[in-house]
Structure 1
Amino acid sequence: MYFTVKPKNRYIEVKAKGNEGIVTFPTFIPGSYVIREMERNIVEINGIRISKNKFYVKDKFSYLIYAASPDQREAISTNDYLFINPPAVFPFQDKSDEYCVELLITWKINTTLKRKGNVFCADNYNEFADSPIEASPNLKLLDVDDNHAVSTLDEINIEKLGKIVNIADSIMGIENKGKRYLFHFRRSDKNYGGIEHLNSSAIVVPWEAKEIERIFAHEYFHRLNVKQLIPADLNIDYETETYSELLWFAEGFTDYMSWQIVSRSNVVEPKDVAKGIANSLQTLTFPGSKRMSLAESSRTTWIKYYKRDANFLNSAISYYDGGLALALYVDMELNGKGERIDTLFKKLERKYTAEQIFSTIRRLGVDIEDLV
Structure 2
Amino acid sequence: MFVKPEPASAPFAGPFALATLSAPDGPRFPALVTADAQVVDLRLAFENAQLTVRGLLEEWPSVLPRLRALAEDGTAGHGPLSEFRVHAPVEPRQVFQSGANYRQHVIDLHVAHRAPGDDRPQEERRAEAAELMDRRAAQDLPYVFIGLPSAVTGPYDDVVLPAWAEKPDWELELAAVIGRPAHRVPVGDALSHVAGYTIANDLTDRATVFRRDMPQIGTDWLRSKNAPGFTPLGPWIVPADSVPDPGDLRLLLKLNGETMQDESTKDMIFDVARMVSYASQTAQLLPGDLVLTGSPAGNGMHWGRLLRDGDVMEGSIAGLGAQRTRCVAEDATS
TM-score, length-scaled by structure 2: 0.25
Asked which structure has the greater CA Rg, the reply is 1
TM-score, length-scaled by structure 1: 0.23
Which structure has more helix as a fraction of its residues? 1
